[in-house]
Amino acid sequence: MRFDTPATNNPIDQMKVVGQAITRIDGPRKVTGTATYAYEWHDASLKAAYGYPVGAAIAKGRISSMDVQAARQAPGVLAVVTAESAGKLGKGSLNTATLMGGPEIQHYHQAIAVVVAETFEQARSAAQLIKVDYVEAPGAFDLAAEMENAVKPESGDPDSAAGDFGPAFEAAAVKLDERYTTPDQSHAMMEPHASLAVWNGDELTLWTSNQMIAWNRAQIAATLGMEEDKIHIMSPFIGGGFGSKLFLRSDALLAALGAKAAGRPVKLALPRPFLMNNTTHRPATIQRIRIGAGQDGRITAIGHESWSGDLPGGGPEAAVMQTRLLYAGQHRMTAMRLATLDLPEGNAMRAPGEAPGLMALEIAMDEMAEKLGIDPVEFRIINDTQVDPEKPEKQFSHRQFVECLRLGAERFGWERRNPTPGSVRDGRWLVGMGVASAFRNNLVMKSGARVRLDREGVVTVETDMTDIGTGTYTIIAQTAAEMMGLTVDKVAVNLGDTRFPVSAGSGGQWGANSSTAGVYAACVALREKIAQKLGFNSTDVTFADGEIRSGNRAISLAQAAGDDGITAEDTIEYGDVSEEKQQSTFGAHFVEVGIDAYTAEIRVRRMLGVAAAGRILNPITARSQMIGAMTMGVGGAFMEELAVDKRRGFFVNHDLAGYEVPVHADIHDQEVIFLDETDPYSSPMKAKGVGELGLCGVAAALANAVHNATGVRVRNYPVTLDKIIRDLPRIG
């Protein structure tokens, strides 16, 4: 099915099932421990052995010698695989570093060997017996030191301009020119990267934890020099990904190589330190923001530059993208520059681009509002735009940005905010409020599904879409139920299997909207097949209460299916509709914090997120995504930082003891409001995405609240107590 224009007579618009607060259909399996994750396939017939990885102990250089003899002779060991014994490996097209190093080393903890043994403990013990000699080479590990060597990225759209920024900025009545930094950060999800590999002749089966299994299959095929149809991947449940599991990672490759060498199925989970240094992370940024405005508060010039780093062949953290679209201003420029660093690979993580970009931009907007003497909410509203500021001929498909700000301010009690920093106290606590805008572009992806109606009147949906804990099983079931006139209990959903039609996958905030649109397309095809079989006019039928109806005729779906059932398959593809309108999601975050006046301890008291993100397919699962993302924003604001050893080139705090993330005790009152919105230009579902929108802007709102509470402006994340304690207002 091709989607070019808003659909008419759309069954989804009935909203009998879609849009309803239905609890997760996979919930019972998860809370009872019967949902099977990648490392948990315990079929006794597999007789799986265990793999344990060995990572490089240097960040750059080469291996001069590797002695694996003692490891091979250790108890229970079945195989030891190195880059030399593995033979020539290809490079997955999306990886900047090879997944198995040797003799050249590209980054710390790059996998250089895998040990396979009968038990996990034997594999881990034997891995310690491998002796490696290195020749270290000098590396670049400090983004600030490499800024002068940063270059314009070769691909993508790193720079943009409209008007004449330089002169307009200089002529502005009120100007801001500041620098902001965000640190390297880790995905830090609960489930590690894990895979179970099984060979049957020249065919490979992988149970793995991966968000985009079609991409994964293509990349492992390229790496191993195989045909894609010889690879079968299953990933029905994923315990968190956040971008780290978008691409092929070393767990899958090492498990496949180990299983081939050992002649046995092999399961392998990357140890926690490998998550930080072996897989991808969010790269640090240095951002310069310049804003010029008139005394009336209208922006006349806005410029945003960002520097980030990656391995050779990598790309920039696209931190300027939201600045191209969020606020009005005739004269504008954005630019991204990329430094070559020898740190582990930088790549997609939790709203890549907009999340760190808004961490800077939304502090700058508050600073500018303060210079102008305008309320921060009102300053943002003054500078709203209904068209792409760089391409004024292109309108937004739907933009309720101002509505988010106004409703959020009303519900949060923003009028009670004292604009004078450091003036509100609650005993020993300094109290402040902060606001920030939320923005994330709406992306759509080609997505397919297969639907089958059986003689019991049950519809089964099959698609290789994955569920990373966001409620995919449920919203897909709701879509099929709505389309076929059923209740959710009459729909079965099977996900995460490359034998099923290729879907959008889970990433980029496109998963829910795109995958359900694919199910919509398949159900349209199924409806037509059923009507054709019964001799009904497919344009004049109704599917409701488990029946198909036309005029005064009504036949149950079970009867229509017959003994053989009816199957249909289709894929949603997008025409020019996304080019005709700028599609984005919008929101606003309001927060209140308390700062201990003596210790500078920070406590988050209240959080409110308001989102305009198209049709909300399920308010329960959508709210879960929002509050989860808002919680991640607390981490980004106050805790999360991968500490770089700038001499040796690795992330020092590479475990969950040293890399801090928010826990239940850090979060108090959270409220979420979804605006009533449908966007007919987005897809037949008229939905968008909320998972990453809920994160965008949160950290800046918190940083702005800290300033309102204390008068201390912190421009370098995370906002930790050592950065504010010396300048706290005195009490008493």
Q: Are strands 331-340 and 299-310 parallel, antiparallel or unpaired?
A: parallel
* Residue 2 pLDDT: 93
Residue 467: give the domain boundaries.
Answer: 2-35+444-577
Kindly state the helix (H) or strand (E) to which residue 27 belongs, with its residue range. Answer: helix 27-31
Mean pLDDT taken over the chain: 96
| 455 lies in the same domain as 531 | yes
* Residue 92 pLDDT: 65
* Residue 138 pLDDT: 97
Domain assignment present for 302: no
Whole-angstrom CA distances from 327 to 298, 319, 378 are 10, 15, 13
Domain assignment present for 598: yes
* Residue 430 pLDDT: 98
- 396 within 8 A of 582, measured Cβ to Cβ: yes
Give Cα 340 to chain centroid, integer Å. Answer: 24
* Residue 576 pLDDT: 80
Gap between the Cα atoms of 495 and 174, Å rounded: 54
Start-to-end CA span in the chain (Å): 70
- 485 within 8 A of 542, measured Cβ to Cβ: yes
| 435 lies in the same domain as 448 | no
| 468 lies in the same domain as 564 | yes
The better pLDDT of the pair 580, 126 is held by 126
| 429 lies in the same domain as 454 | no
| 429 lies in the same domain as 452 | no
Domain assignment present for 280: no
* Residue 579 pLDDT: 77
Give the pLDDT band of residue 93 (cuts 50, 70, 90): low
> How many CB atoms neighbour CB 655 within 10 A?
12
* Residue 732 pLDDT: 61
Gap between the Cα atoms of 70 and 74, Å rounded: 6
Note the pLDDT tens digit of each residue in 11-59.
999 999 999 999 999 999 999 999 999 999 877 788 999 999 999 999 9
When mean pLDDT is compared across 14-18, 78-82, 410-414, 551-555, the lowest value belongs to 551-555
Domain assignment present for 534: yes
- Whether 731 has a pLDDT exceeding 80, the answer reads no
* Residue 43 pLDDT: 77
Average pLDDT value for residue range 451-473: 97
Average pLDDT value for residue range 324-338: 98
Residue that terminates a domain, selected from 555, 577, 599? 577
* Residue 210 pLDDT: 98
Look at residues 53, 30, 54, 497 and name the one whose alpha carbon lies nearest to residue 266: 53
Domain assignment present for 209: no
| 481 lies in the same domain as 505 | yes
Residue that terminates a domain, selected from 530, 558, 577? 577
Give the pLDDT band of residue 417 (cuts 50, 70, 90): very high
- Whether 530 has a pLDDT exceeding 90, the answer reads yes
Residue that terminates a domain, selected from 577, 599, 633? 577
Gap between the Cα atoms of 481 and 490, Å rounded: 7
| 508 lies in the same domain as 657 | no
Gap between the Cα atoms of 472 and 480, Å rounded: 12
Domain assignment present for 722: yes
DSSP alpha helix (H) spans, 147-228: 165-171, 213-224
| 587 lies in the same domain as 468 | no
- Whether 193 has a pLDDT exceeding 70, the answer reads yes
When mean pLDDT is compared across 42-46, 214-218, 566-570, 641-645, the lowest value belongs to 42-46
| 536 lies in the same domain as 469 | yes
Whole-angstrom CA distances from 458 to 453, 454, 469, 521, 559 are 6, 6, 25, 18, 11
* Residue 45 pLDDT: 82
- Catalytic one of 305, 354, 641, 692: 692
| 528 lies in the same domain as 435 | no
The order of strands in the sheet holding 542-544 is 542-544, 547-550, 553-556
Note the pLDDT tens digit of each residue in 590-616.
999 999 999 999 999 999 999 999 999
- Whether 490 has a pLDDT exceeding 60, the answer reads yes
Secondary structure (H, E, C), 321-381: HHHHCCCCCCEEEEEEEEEECCCCCECCCCCCCHHHHHHHHHHHHHHHHHHHCCCHHHHHH
| 536 lies in the same domain as 555 | yes
Note the pLDDT tens digit of each residue in 502-519.
999 999 999 999 999 999
| 529 lies in the same domain as 636 | no
Give the pLDDT band of residue 448 (cuts 50, 70, 90): very high
Average pLDDT value for residue range 59-69: 98
* Residue 560 pLDDT: 97
Note the pLDDT tens digit of each residue in 674-726.
999 999 999 999 999 999 999 999 999 999 999 999 999 999 999 999 999 99
- Whether 7 has a pLDDT exceeding 60, the answer reads yes
Which DSSP letter does residue 46 get? G
* Residue 139 pLDDT: 98
**How many domains in the chain?**
2
> How many CB atoms neighbour CB 381 within 10 A?
17
- Whether 464 has a pLDDT exceeding 80, the answer reads yes
Domain assignment present for 348: no
Q: Cis bond leading into 283, ω under 30°?
A: no
Structure tokens at 433: 């409020």
Q: Are strands 174-182 and 285-293 parallel, antiparallel or unpaired?
A: antiparallel
Note the pLDDT tens digit of each residue in 270-295.
999 999 999 999 999 999 999 999 99
What percentage of the chain exceeds 70 in pLDDT? 99
Give Cα 465 to chain centroid, integer Å. Answer: 15
CATH (domain of 571): 3.30.365.10
- Whether 247 has a pLDDT exceeding 90, the answer reads yes
Cβ contacts of residue 393 below 8 Å, gap of 6+? 387
Give the pLDDT band of residue 95 (cuts 50, 70, 90): low
**692 noted as active-site residue:** yes
Look at residues 313, 314, 339, 341 and name the one whose alpha carbon lies nearest to residue 138: 341
What percentage of the chain exceeds 90 in pLDDT? 95
DSSP alpha helix (H) spans, 95-207: 120-127, 143-146, 165-171
Gap between the Cα atoms of 570 and 332, Å rounded: 43
The residues with which 431 forms a beta bridge, in sequence order, are 594
Domain assignment present for 695: yes
- Whether 326 has a pLDDT exceeding 60, the answer reads yes
* Residue 148 pLDDT: 96
* Residue 416 pLDDT: 98
Which DSSP letter does residue 502 get? P
* Residue 317 pLDDT: 98
